[in-house]
Structure 1
Amino acid sequence: MLPLALKSTVESALRTYGDPGPLQPPHPVSGGDIGQSFRLETPAGRYFLKFRTEAPAGIFTAERDGLERLARNSRSIQIPEVIAHEGPEKTGTGWILMEWIEPSSIQPHGMAETLGRGLAELHQHTSSVYGLERNNFIGLLPQPNRQRKKWADFYRDCRLLPQMEIAGKRNRLPPDRNRLLNRLLDRLDNWLDDSTISPSLLHGDLWGGNWMVGPGGAPYLIDPAVYYGHREVDLAFTELFGGFPNRFYDAYREAFPLKTDYQDRKPLYQLYYLLVHLNHFGESYGASVDRILKQYAG
């Protein structure tokens, strides 16, 4: 149910946007684990609203910034327009309002190619450092982005180590897992050679649920956790749970070939997302975490 105070706030935001309303009864839709999601309608148009009553401070500001950064740097892949949002400034009710993308169940010929080439184009936007000017979130968990010159340092200090610390606080770090994680952190330089890596703009949370086919068969990216990092991280996550057409990978490699030893690093990059899932959802992901740790540090 949409709280009355939030409904009034959203209506005010829509009037500023140029839609006089009024809002019709909202339609609940699926929208991930961050909050409740609705399709909103007025006589003039449709919109997507996501909100959470106990939202971490700044989570929807981070989402807005990520979407707008992707939109500025993406030519082939579409990004939903953000209309308004509320941070929140401190833990409490936050929300984000954006254009409604009518989903299509039809995946026309060429869509996967557009998606793959579009991601390759995105990854060719680079920076001189890894990270970002601001921290953001991966799901509901904080994602620190302290900028680093060296990729191995960034991946250790801003990706694996923070998730390891969260796992410890949530009693999801038994002795063997803790020992192998520490050993892996000490050995990251063995696998991450900065001379062959440059900071690419990443979506950051690129699983099968964070892209969709919109009107006319256009691919859209949603729910980013952006930063500048090794582009293989995005590719590795797309392969973890599936949901991407085979032609997507062919088109990506044609536009921006991968190093021949990508497969050697892929599980190492999937480890970050498995730790995130371990911390979000529990021990059902523990065996996958342990398998990767044994592969690299056993």
Structure 2
Amino acid sequence: MTRLARHGAALLGAGLWNWHALPGGDVAQVLLVYLNDGRRVVVKNGPDPVAEADMLRTLGRTGAPVPDVLAVDGDALVLQYLPADGRLSRCWDDLARVIALAHTGRPEGGMVRYGWSGGYAVGAVTVCNDWTETWPDFWAQRRIGVHLDHVPIDLARQLEALMRRLPDLLPATPAPCLLHGDLWGGNVLVSGQHVTGLIDPCCYYGHAEVDLATLGVFNQPPAGFYARYGMPGRGHEVRFAIYRLWIALVHLRLFGGTYRPMVAQYLNDAGF
């Protein structure tokens, strides 16, 4: 980790004074680095620092708070340090405002299509974002079908059955908006009653309900959150289960069989 800290400092033309690891870092190393000129910055590696920098900048252009990208290359991303001394339980209202801002982002030229300009990864799990013209096709091909060769055969058959039904269960062409893509409490920095930054994005353009659904995997947004953001549409329970399934499948592949019950629960909630 010292090597990563030194590299981050060098990208800023500064020397390293000290560093320590930040909480999290399940799929990347994340460090708080103190420079010899008095600054403190966050330095992290990951599957594609350049792509992550582009995602953060894109989110930032919507007005949603994100850390400034200070420097980046193929090995490290250097970010502005943001305060994170608060509790999400005090910030749900502001988070609803922030997510609504992020969701104002649209694909270039206002085109109705779903995806992103390039692929990404969550740890060792590749995330394909190739564009599709319909939303059920995107979810079937880019978020469910990519796991078929990496899960037990009985689970793969269930997933194939779900994929065949997606045109009936998901909207064909919802307004594509900019998604954080991996939204949960651990990727939201808060201080006081305000969100100071969204971090660790896995962006693409898709159905806004994806971020709302994934936020509920490890957290429980209160009614006031939806009052501020807006209530999801009729039948959202099934759609939420389908969207949460992607998170569960990624965790199953990254961390093993302890996440199989989560996968089974979301399949059951979706009717499979």
Work out whether the TM-score is over 0.5.
Answer: yes
Counterpart residue number, 1:18: none
Q: What is the match of residue 228 of structure 1?
A: 205
Instruction: Tell me how far 1:237 sits from its aligned partner.
Output: 0.5
Q: Distance in 1 between matches of 2:160 and 2:271?
A: 9
Q: In 2 relative to 1, CA 218–48 (structure 1 residues): closer, same or farther, beyond 3 Å?
A: same
Secondary structure at 1:47's aligned position in 2?
A: strand
Deviation sequence 1:63-105 (CA, Å, 0-9, x none): 11111110112x2x31001111222xxxxxx221111112222
2:104 corresponds, among 114, 124, 149, to 124
- Tell me if 1:35 matches 2:28: yes
Corresponding residue for 1:152?
A: 136
* 1:244 Cα deviation after fit: 4.5
Whether the 8 Å CA contact 2:8–2:76 is kept in 1: the answer is: no
Give structure 1 stretches of 5+ with no counterpart: 16-20, 88-93
Q: Residues of 2 paired with 1:7 and 1:296: CA distance?
A: 44
Corresponding residue for residue 93 of structure 2: 113
The one-letter code of the counterpart of 2:125 is: L
2:225 — aligned with what?
A: 248
What CA distance in whole angstroms lies between the structure 1 residues aligned with 2:5 and 2:25? 21
Residue-by-residue CA offset, 1:234-253 (whole Å, 9 max, x unaligned): 10011111165553332111
Q: Do structure 1's residue 10 and structure 2's residue 8 form an aligned pair?
A: yes
Match of 1:187 in 2: 165
| 2:88 matches 1:102 | no
Aligned partner of 2:23: which letter?
Answer: S
Q: CA deviation at 1:297?
A: 5.4
Say whether the 8 Å CA contact 1:180–1:294 is kept in structure 2: no
Give the superposition deviation at 1:134. 1.1
Name the structure 2 match of 1:282: 256
Query: How far apart in 1 are the matches of 2:238 and 2:270?
Result: 10
One-letter code aligned to 2:42: F
Which letter maps to 1:104? D
Asked whether the equivalents of residues 48 and 100 of structure 1 are also in contact (C-alpha less than 8 Å), the reply is: yes
**Which amino acid in structure 2 is aligned with residue 11 of structure 1?**
A
- Name the CA distance, whole Å, in 2 between partners of 1:107 and 1:268: 25
Secondary structure at the counterpart of residue 17 of structure 2: coil
Residue matched to 2:154: 176
TM-score, scaled to structure 1: 0.82
Structure 2 unaligned runs (5+)? Answer: none
| Matched AA of 2:44 | K
Three-state SS of the structure 2 residue aligned to 1:270 is helix
User: Structure 2 vs 1, CA of residues 120 and 7 (structure 1 numbering), >3 Å: closer, same or farther?
Assistant: closer
Larger radius of gyration: 1
Aligned residues: 267
Is structure 2 residue 71 aligned with structure 1 residue 84? yes
| Secondary structure at the counterpart of residue 97 of structure 1 | strand
The one of 240, 264, 272 equivalent to 2:238 is 264
Give the TM-score of the pair, scaled to structure 2.
0.89
Q: Cα RMSD (Å) of the superposition?
A: 2.3
Deviation at 1:163, TM superposition (A): 2.3
